[in-house]
């Protein structure tokens, strides 16, 4: 009986890790703990040390199996190496690069995971645990929690301090450094990237010469301004919208000048950089640090220092728990939104109680609270966007690129029910109005191949693959004939570039006539928060009495007014790049 219980404990814990890790979300919520197996029943007096050698083990990470080699002598762990993996650049790769050394230095598998890369961290930890057991280790020796570091208070001086290491913060930091300022970035998470690194990486542009030459994307600036204002229910600040879109073409030239090679997309989401969002974040941070900029990870800003009515630095909590004081001539708030603060969201909009979020765990609204504490005005906090196509069990967002490239949404009767490329809030409402409040997204191999992000959804086990319409219908639990009729109607609409059912304004890139097909059940999830700190086009923070707060700047999702009541897909990264670059320029000019 004891052996049976032992076997069941091992089997259940292993299945939980493999199953949850295989379909976990980039937000790293509800991630599996390291595998806890029943200790070997070897009497203590028989333990004579480990058998020296190299041992390998592989456990499922976020996107792939992570193969780990652990070398031991008779008493200690000598080295830990990740031999094989396909984890996400800029997320899982941080765990791959940093965690092995932490394990060796601490001689323990009870180390903290890399926040934001939890699933990959657990795969590495479990690989080391398995290797130690292969070597005959006394696991109690290697399961001691490492002592916490001694907190140390630190005081630093700089020209500009940037709070937040996402696209907006890194853009601001890089541009301020390019303009001659000494710059420090503080990021509360263990990795940079914020929500950006989990996005599709596409950003809208209007009127760039490459678009005009290729006859792709939004070529007319005024048209795109109107599109953005309409999408935001005309609640947007017109000056901010105009500034963002009039400077969008210049952002393409700016990222090119930095060293990226932007590529034109197939739709109005006009440009990406190689490597998509991870490539953008990795590149911005690399360029910044190569120019002498400093990034402080695991450092949570808690307060903005004010002197004589002007921002003069920040107080933060360091990675060791000590107080970090950074005196600065200017402060840039780029902490992102509050999409992961579900309790606050439910207070602001009770109709969203119980929704999942695809935001990263650090998106809790800290910057807004800090800004309000020094007199900043805020707006539109109750304007919270749901993304229509989220795989709820794993909180994985299915990129807009699935539908823009020709994917369709089908209800539980096997029929289309909306214009799939309408504004996000409209599509979300259409899905929620269906009988069971969800829909099936259907795409095919051509669409998967059109966007590197989409392949990733299959790799993590979210998208299911089907070779026949019959198999697809069985998965959806609908009549094959009904689904086939839906597919035939859609393929006809694509051929005629006309959707008589829902008047869709697709770019009619491809149909769904050829398999294999892929599908996933989707429903809306918390995606973007449109409200935040009030700024002007110089990214200066405005106080509650309508005046500029000297030395205080803000950019990105932490601000309000750019997107109004609903954000247009592809405008978030544009927002971060345009206003991030501006915040860098203006903060550097301010200190001079």
> How many whole angstroms from its chain centre is CA 376?
27
Query: In the 8-state DSSP scheme, what is residue 591?
Result: H
Catalytic residue ranges: 424
Residue 497, classified by CB atoms within 10 Å of its CB into exposed (0-12), middle (13-18) or buried (19+), is exposed
CA angle 79, 81, 83 (to 5 degrees): 150
Is the CB of residue 62 less than 8 Å from the CB of residue 119?
yes
Rounded-to-integer distance, Cα 175 and Cα 173, Å: 6
Rounded-to-integer distance, Cα 28 and Cα 465, Å: 24
Rounded-to-integer distance, Cα 195 and Cα 288, Å: 19
| Cα within 13 Å of Cα(54), Cβ side | 8
Return the number of other C-beta atoms located less than 10 Å from residue 307's C-beta: 11
Strands 439-444 and 384-391: unpaired
141 vs 15, 106, 109, 136, 146, CA distance in Å? 26, 11, 10, 12, 11
Angle between helices 238-246 and 221-231 (to 10 degrees): 140
Beta bridge partners of 180: none
């Amino acid at each position: 009986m004891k052996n049976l219980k032992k076997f069941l404990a091992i089997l259940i814990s292993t299945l939980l890790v493999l199953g949850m890790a295989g379909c976990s979300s980039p937000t790293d919520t509800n991630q599996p703990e390291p595998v806890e197996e029943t200790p070997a029943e070897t009497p203590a007096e028989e333990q004579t040390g480990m058998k020296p050698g190299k041992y390998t083990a592989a456990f499922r990470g976020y996107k792939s199996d992570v193969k780990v080699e652990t070398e031991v002598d008779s008493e200690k762990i000598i080295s830990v190496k990740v031999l094989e993996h396909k984890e996400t650049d800029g997320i899982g790769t941080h765990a791959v690069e940093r965690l092995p050394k932490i394990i060796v230095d601490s001689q323990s598998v009870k180390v903290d995971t890399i926040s934001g890369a939890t699933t990959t961290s657990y795969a590495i930890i479990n690989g080391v645990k398995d290797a130690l057991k292969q070597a005959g280790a006394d696991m109690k020796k290697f399961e001691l929690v490492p002592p916490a570091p001694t907190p140390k208070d630190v005081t630093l001086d700089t020209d500009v301090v940037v709070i937040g290491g996402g696209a907006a913060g890194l853009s601001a930091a890089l541009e301020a450094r390019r303009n001659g300022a000494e710059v420090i970035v503080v990021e509360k998470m263990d990795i940079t990237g914020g929500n950006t690194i989990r996005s599709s990486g596409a950003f809208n542009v209007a009127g760039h010469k490459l678009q005009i030459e290729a006859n792709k994307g939004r070529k007319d600036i005024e048209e795109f301004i109107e599109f953005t204002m309409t999408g935001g229910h005309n609640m947007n600040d017109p000056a901010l919208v105009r500034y963002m879109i009039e400077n969008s073409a210049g952002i393409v030239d700016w990222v090119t000048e930095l060293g990226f090679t932007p590529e034109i997309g197939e739709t109005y989401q006009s440009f990406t950089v190689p490597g998509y969002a991870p490539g953008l974040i990795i590149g911005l941070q690399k360029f910044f640090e190569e120019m002498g900029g400093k990034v402080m990870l695991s450092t949570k800003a808690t307060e903005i220092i004010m002197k004589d009515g002007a921002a003069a630095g920040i107080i933060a909590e360091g990675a060791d728990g000590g107080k970090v004081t950074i005196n600065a001539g200017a402060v840039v708030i780029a902490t992102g939104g509050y999409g992961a603060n579900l309790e606050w969201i439910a207070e602001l909009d009770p109709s969203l109680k119980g929704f999942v979020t695809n935001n990263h765990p650090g998106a809790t609204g800290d910057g807004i609270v800090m800004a309000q504490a020094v007199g900043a005005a805020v707006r539109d906090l109750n304007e919270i966007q749901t993304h229509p196509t989220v795989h709820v069990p794993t909180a994985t967002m299915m990129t807009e690129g699935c539908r823009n490239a020709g994917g369709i949404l089908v209800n539980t009767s096997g029929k289309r029910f909306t214009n799939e490329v309408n504004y996000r809030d409209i599509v979300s409402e259409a899905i929620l109005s269906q009988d069971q409040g969800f829909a099936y997204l259907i795409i095919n191999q051509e669409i998967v191949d059109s966007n590197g992000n989409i392949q990733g959804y299959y790799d993590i086990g979210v998208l299911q693959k089907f070779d026949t319409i019959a198999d697809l219908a069985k998965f959806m639990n609908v009549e094959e004939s009904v689904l086939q009729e839906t597919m035939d109607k859609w393929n006809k609409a694509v051929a005629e570039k006309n959707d008589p059912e829902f008047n869709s304004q697709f770019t009619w890139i491809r149909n769904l006539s050829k398999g294999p097909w892929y599908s996933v059940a989707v429903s809306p999830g918390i995606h973007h928060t449109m409200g935040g700190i009030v700024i002007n086009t110089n990214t200066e923070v405005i106080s509650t009495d309508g005046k500029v707060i000297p030395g205080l700047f803000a950019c990105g999702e932490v601000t309000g007014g750019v997107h109004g009541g609903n954000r247009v897909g592809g405008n978030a990264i544009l927002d971060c790049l345009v206003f991030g670059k501006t915040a860098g320029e203006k903060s550097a000019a301010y200190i001079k």
